[in-house]
Structure 1
Amino acid sequence: MNSFFSPRAHVRARFTPLTLSVAILAAFPSSQVFSQGIQAADSAQVFVVGSRFSESRDIAPIGATVITAKDIRDAGVDNVNQAIRKIGGVFGRQSAYGTQDFDLDLRGFGTNSSQNMVILVDGIRLSENELSVALLSSIPIDSVARIEIMRGGSSVLYGDGATAGVIQIITKQAGNKTLSGVVTAELGQFKHKELRASLAQVWGNLSANLNLSEQKADNYRDNNAVDQKNINAGLVWAYANGRLGARIDSARQESGFAGALSLAQFEQNPRQTLSPKNFGSIDTDRFTAFADQQFGAWEMAAELSRRNKTSKSFYSSSYGDSAATYTSHQTQFSPRIRNVNAGNELTVGVDLIRWDRLVDSSYSQADASQKSKAIYLRDEIRFNQARVAVGARREIFDKVSINPAAYSIDSYAKTFGLNAWELQGSYAVTPTLNLFAKTGQSYRVANVDENGFTPIANTPLQPQTSHDIEIGATFGDAKNLFTTRVFRSNLKNEIFYDPTATNAFFGKGANVNLDPTKRQGIELELATQISADFAFNSKLQHLAASFTEGVNAGKGMVMVPKNLISMNINWLPKNGQSANVGLQWVDEQRYGGDFSNTCTAKMPGYTTLDARYAKSFGALELALSGTNLGDKQYFSNAYGCKSGIYPNSGRQLKISARYEF
């Protein structure tokens, strides 16, 4: 069975201006790292962690996009998920639960996008081992120092699920001020209310931070209200050549489940619900300890993390009421060591992860666990204007599920190993032109929910593998930077939900290993300082996703827009005023499950417009913002042909006050 926080769980319960952007991109030269407006005082403090160790900006991960805290402030973004979508240009689908946790999709993986990328916070996996998205809403936006988006296969360093790429969120370290903080209050339509507070204190080598937030909203749709509370606290002791720290992150989230609509129902009233009694909650607590220490040319680092999560759901239908509780725990220990000597950087590390989940419901009593142990090695050589990196990973998985419930089909035990490798290189042809290329193998394994609903009873799915290749170039300087990437991924045994397959209950719908598929396309990124007051950035993605073999060979994959464009312009006149305007155009998509491409319609494309204006009065900033200003009625989630539709939100206006000290 699927976790209740997967949109598919809802579905099964109910079913037993391209030319303009190209012209703009051609007009200005730009880069993969578009956050170049950093103040000189901050540049030395900006680091990237593409090698799982801190690095200076000039050796950022090859082909990566970096979003800084300044980028976030300039765009007026108020949550991490929105920053990734609006500034990073990553496609996202509306949350089915009224929360800020949109399904993010790197490189066209549709309904399983969240399972094909890894999201980390300070090196700890936030990605789930079940069909639910990573709770980015639990990360306070004011605590974020930077976000790294590494597109393409990255399993050598990050393991299972890093087929489409990795998103790494790095939180801030205390600065030089003894006491600092930010308080933000926000009100908006649909009874939106949010209060955030961030506080940091420094005592010599010891620093502490505390973040509190609460958000309440009725949201656009009926029975889609959300109430979320977060608390995050950290303590760091820095000493000669090292540091020790600990962090606690806790989130409490409750929301109503508005459920899916048919196309006719959406056209009649996209705000309606057919499930007025359905609701759920998630309680998450994460405890992390970390350390790093330098010994001359050697550096050692490690994180130890424990996450406890309880998810509850209630569904009411004509068949009766159903309640479920999912209790899961995850422990991760990731020690590693690095040697940097004469332009050579060697990294060796281990990842040990244990995850378990117990289900208590009328339909399942599954007790499932997954243990994985991995060792990886990566060596990067830098000489003259070139960088070459090679790496490999071996990971052993031990998956067990026991379900004593009647008619259960998810009892199994399986042990297997997987390999990943990569070869990357870049060469600075001139000070303003850099070429890069990457190739490798990545993998992902079926999670507990996918293995719980398969065509053959008590038989888990085969691992998914992908062979990836990418070439690209960056051109320009700190003010005008342009990046282009061309990529292709060939996948075998892609793990996906097929509504036409027969499950072990002899009904329709099952998680399966698909016939071979591929993703290929081109990505363009632009960032330019148009004038002293105006900055512009844009992302364009053209993507083809299709079957390469089997009965659907040549057919397009589902819920993948062929074209995606996002554009943002910032006005920063340095007189206390600021403004941001963002536009996104998403091409049409095939409805979910339409592998044969026979549905007589497609999900319509759409264009949305967001804007924000702010005025500062000393330490106080007042702002007015709006999303979907054209009040476009559209949807980005639809799991059946003209059905299984989860509408996106209409226009919403908000006012906010922010005080920084």
Structure 2
Amino acid sequence: MKKIILATAISAVVSPVVYAADPVTIVITASRTEQALSQSITPTTVITHQQLQQTQPKSVAQALEQSAGVQVLNSGGYGQNSTLYLRGLDQKRMLVLVDGVQIGSATLGYASLEHFPVEQIERIEIVRGARSSLYGANAIAGVIQIITKKKHLQSNYAVIEAGVGSRNTQQLSLSGGFGNENTRLTAAVSRFSTEGFDVYSAGGEDKDGYLNQALNLTAEHQYSSGLILFGGYQRAQGHNDYDQCSKPDWSKSNDCESLFVNDGLQLGLAQRANQKLGWEIKASQHNDSSQQKVEGIKADKFVTQTRMLNLQGEYQLSEQQLLLAGIDYKKDEVSGSGVDNYQEKTRDNKALFALWQWQQKGLSAAISGRADRNQAFGTFNTYGVELGVELLADLELTLGRATAFTAPTFNDLYYPALGNPDLKPETSSTNSLGLNYQPSSSVYLTANLYQTEVEDLVAWAPISPGSFTWTPQNVDNVSIKGVELTGQWLFGNTQLDAHLEWLEPKDKATGNILIYRAQKSSGLRISQQLDQLTLGISAAYTGSRYTDKANTDRLDAYTLVHFDAQYAVSRALVTKLSVKNLTDKSYVSKKGYETESRSLFASVSYTF
């Protein structure tokens, strides 16, 4: 069965959304190579450029919150720490890529997605389920990949967009694409700022503002031989105010500021040698820098530099079979005043990986494997097996099993007096079962069941019974069972998207539910196009959650409703309006922190 995902049709960058079935959406994250979404047997969600334009998120968390399998924990407004949970596991157990380059902090163990500029995103791919057999460490829950904007119009263009909103929120961006048949260049700059609001409910009355300034450059040139030279550079820097930081005497202050700089550079060559053989080599570097200011005085600085070299090739064995294999080299280095006393400041990882895909009418399969050799913890092997069987003309059954692991962070291993250099990687195994049903080109339904077992989870624990000294240790084991239901319907110019999730994330020792995981969540979105006007309304339900391991403190469930509108005055001029938290719902996402009340944002864009 050919799975057809309902999506917005490819249109001019500033035109209103036109809804249509799109059977050939290309994704790359699930298999590390281009593949039609209709041919993938891996649960994958694509948030397209058109969807981002219509829903108008102001953060990556807002862009992801309507996606199946994703839950968001907010610690305030824009720029504040946002924790993502994918299939019940947090950001330390998921991999985040930007244009194929891994990003994040090696000391914290996750990427600060709250600082990535949404204005520069072309699309987001979310792969649900273990992917260490292709990507290595930290892909237990899945992989989130951000694809930045590239030149996609035939002619040269430039787009300027400006907007204002509640709490003196301001946004300004300028992007453009230039080139000819052989060369393409893209450039984008953006600035986002807001006065914010007081994010800590028990603190003094102060506004916790945010500033983000970003740059994105990409280039690609194709030679007559078919060889493609490509490169890119991204940078985001700014600061956000927050509350409850620690002073040197360990007392708390609400005069806190976080300074951040994230930048990445990549350069590569790719070639399709013939119809069967293709290869790519890429070198990249990503830097993650953070520093706190407490009452105007700068504290320690933490910098992660990640260098990677990737070489992969693919060979079409036959019309039904594809073989992909490659080598990954990664080196993490931490620096800055905050890591002066760390026992180790560098580690490298070498890996070999391979994927075999086979597909014929009514049957498809994928087998992947990877061997990682890490300087800190030795060799680790993972695998993944997937099978798709067409039961009926409109119904497909999918089966999968995969192993994965998460590497301990530099803080876990080497933090002065508290780190534990004897930590082992966390390990997991995931079994999955799915059904994909498509009775017509305008209706698509899926059901996915999965069970993930994670062992040797790193958690703080006393070094011995009764000891007052605590360190990170491999002491926790968790079991996560889940059911995901998703549906998409297209009726004329009306599109409806919905998802439901039931989750049972348990600590195996106590049987208690893991903190801040809602066992029930759902989302619904209805979009309607009326000539030049497109309207959308979204609702997201988050069930009750526990804030403590003993499951004695529970936060209430809540539903948030958002509204958006887009009107094309002409093909060049487009106006937009979004209202987040339309009903002005008072709710708590994280205990002790305020959440944003109703907020409006209006913008206008013009294409030259």
* TM-score where L is the length of structure 2: 0.89
Q: Name the structure 2 match of 1:285.
A: 263
CA distance in 2, matches of 1:544, 1:177: 49
CA distance in 1, matches of 2:73, 2:128: 18
Matching of residues 204-215 of structure 1 within 5 Å: 204-215=181-192
Query: Contact between 1:116 and 1:161, CA under 8 Å: does it hold in 2?
Result: yes
Q: Name the structure 1 match of 2:532.
A: 576
Q: Name the structure 2 match of 1:56.
A: 36
Task: Letter of the 1:589 partner, please give it.
Answer: R
After TM superposition, the structure 1 stretch with the greater mean CA deviation from structure 2, 324-333 or 38-47, is 38-47
Q: 1:511 and 2:467 equivalent?
A: no
CA distance in 2, matches of 1:139, 1:257: 18
2:549 aligns with one of 578, 595, 598: 595
- Deviation string, structure 1 residues 212-244 (Cα, Å, up to 9, x no partner): 000111112234211110000111012454421
Q: Name the structure 1 match of 2:437.
A: 475
After TM superposition, the structure 1 stretch with the greater mean CA deviation from structure 2, 508-517 or 335-344, is 508-517
1:330 aligns with one of 303, 306, 327: 306
TM-superposed deviation, 1:365: 6.0
Gap change, CA 1:41 and 1:571, over 3 Å in 2: closer
Gap change, CA 1:330 and 1:503, over 3 Å in 2: farther
Gap change, CA 1:588 and 1:455, over 3 Å in 2: farther
Gap change, CA 1:361 and 1:474, over 3 Å in 2: closer
1:83 aligns with one of 60, 63, 83: 63
Q: 1:217 and 2:173 equivalent?
A: no
Matching of residues 154-173 of structure 1 within 5 Å: 154-173=131-150
CA distance in 2, matches of 1:468, 1:362: 35
Gap change, CA 1:392 and 1:132, over 3 Å in 2: closer
Q: Name the structure 2 match of 1:610.
A: 562
Query: Contact between 1:314 and 1:322, CA under 8 Å: does it hold in 2?
Result: yes
TM-superposed deviation, 1:259: 3.5
TM-superposed deviation, 1:61: 5.1
CA distance in 1, matches of 2:98, 2:419: 36
After TM superposition, the structure 1 stretch with the greater mean CA deviation from structure 2, 445-454 or 290-299, is 445-454
Percentage identity across aligned positions? 20
Task: Letter of the 2:486 partner, please give it.
Answer: E
Q: Name the structure 2 match of 1:340.
A: 316
Gap change, CA 1:366 and 1:659, over 3 Å in 2: farther
**Unpaired runs of at least 5, structure 2:** 12-18, 199-205, 247-251
CA distance in 2, matches of 1:463, 1:605: 34
Would you tell me which structure has more strand in proportion to its own residues?
2
1:237 aligns with one of 221, 226, 229: 221
Query: Contact between 1:453 and 1:510, CA under 8 Å: does it hold in 2?
Result: no
After TM superposition, the structure 1 stretch with the greater mean CA deviation from structure 2, 246-255 or 283-292, is 283-292
Q: Name the structure 2 match of 1:71.
A: 51
Query: Contact between 2:150 and 2:218, CA under 8 Å: does it hold in 1?
Result: no
Gap change, CA 1:323 and 1:76, over 3 Å in 2: closer
Q: 1:659 and 2:606 equivalent?
A: yes
Query: Contact between 1:180 and 1:201, CA under 8 Å: does it hold in 2?
Result: yes
Query: Contact between 2:412 and 2:419, CA under 8 Å: does it hold in 1?
Result: no
Q: Name the structure 2 match of 1:624.
A: 577
Query: Contact between 1:62 and 1:426, CA under 8 Å: does it hold in 2?
Result: no
2:254 aligns with one of 276, 295, 300: 276
Query: Contact between 1:96 and 1:259, CA under 8 Å: does it hold in 2?
Result: no
Task: Letter of the 2:263 partner, please give it.
Answer: D
Task: Letter of the 1:632 partner, please give it.
Answer: K
TM-superposed deviation, 1:146: 3.0
After TM superposition, the structure 1 stretch with the greater mean CA deviation from structure 2, 232-241 or 187-196, is 232-241
Q: 1:226 and 2:221 equivalent?
A: no
Query: Contact between 2:6 and 2:22, CA under 8 Å: does it hold in 1?
Result: no
Q: Secondary structure at the match of 1:647?
A: coil
Query: Contact between 1:96 and 1:258, CA under 8 Å: does it hold in 2?
Result: no
Q: Secondary structure at the match of 2:451?
A: strand
Query: Contact between 2:117 and 2:236, CA under 8 Å: does it hold in 1?
Result: no
- Deviation string, structure 1 residues 587-644 (Cα, Å, up to 9, x no partner): 11111xx3233x3x21222111111122220021222211112222322224xxxxxx
1:534 aligns with one of 485, 489, 494: 494
TM-superposed deviation, 1:148: 1.8
Task: Letter of the 1:596 partner, please give it.
Answer: A
Q: Secondary structure at the match of 2:545?
A: coil
Q: Secondary structure at the match of 1:190?
A: helix
CA distance in 2, matches of 1:508, 1:608: 42
Q: Name the structure 1 match of 2:234.
A: 249
CA distance in 2, matches of 1:306, 1:495: 28
Query: Contact between 2:183 and 2:219, CA under 8 Å: does it hold in 1?
Result: yes
CA distance in 2, matches of 1:36, 1:612: 16
1:565 aligns with one of 510, 514, 522: 522
Task: Letter of the 2:506 partner, please give it.
Answer: S
**Unpaired runs of at least 5, structure 1:** 1-29, 262-273, 400-414, 639-644
Task: Letter of the 2:441 partner, please give it.
Answer: A
Q: Name the structure 2 match of 1:464.
A: 426
Gap change, CA 1:506 and 1:659, over 3 Å in 2: farther
CA distance in 2, matches of 1:362, 1:100: 24
Q: 1:440 and 2:440 equivalent?
A: no
Q: Secondary structure at the match of 2:38?
A: helix
Gap change, CA 1:218 and 1:439, over 3 Å in 2: same
Task: Letter of the 1:428 partner, please give it.
Answer: E
Query: Contact between 1:74 and 1:570, CA under 8 Å: does it hold in 2?
Result: no
Q: 1:420 and 2:382 equivalent?
A: yes
CA distance in 2, matches of 1:211, 1:42: 30
1:371 aligns with one of 309, 328, 348: 348
Matching of residues 156-195 of structure 1 within 5 Å: 156-195=133-172
Task: Letter of the 2:291 partner, please give it.
Answer: K
CA distance in 2, matches of 1:565, 1:89: 9
- Deviation string, structure 1 residues 36-82 (Cα, Å, up to 9, x no partner): 65579996984211221112343235222222222323433454442
CA distance in 2, matches of 1:455, 1:628: 45
Q: Secondary structure at the match of 1:108?
A: coil
After TM superposition, the structure 1 stretch with the greater mean CA deviation from structure 2, 205-214 or 34-43, is 34-43
Q: Name the structure 2 match of 1:393.
A: 370
RMSD: 3.0
Query: Contact between 2:544 and 2:556, CA under 8 Å: does it hold in 1?
Result: yes
After TM superposition, the structure 1 stretch with the greater mean CA deviation from structure 2, 246-255 or 140-149, is 140-149
1:489 aligns with one of 441, 448, 452: 452
Task: Letter of the 1:424 partner, please give it.
Answer: E
Q: Secondary structure at the match of 1:157?
A: helix
CA distance in 1, matches of 2:394, 2:81: 37
After TM superposition, the structure 1 stretch with the greater mean CA deviation from structure 2, 238-247 or 334-343, is 238-247
CA distance in 1, matches of 2:117, 2:163: 14
Q: Secondary structure at the match of 1:523?
A: strand
Q: Secondary structure at the match of 1:443?
A: strand
TM-superposed deviation, 1:31: 7.5
After TM superposition, the structure 1 stretch with the greater mean CA deviation from structure 2, 35-44 or 505-514, is 35-44
Task: Letter of the 1:306 partner, please give it.
Answer: Q
Matching of residues 190-205 of structure 1 within 5 Å: 190-205=167-182
Task: Letter of the 1:576 partner, please give it.
Answer: Q
Gap change, CA 1:483 and 1:215, over 3 Å in 2: same
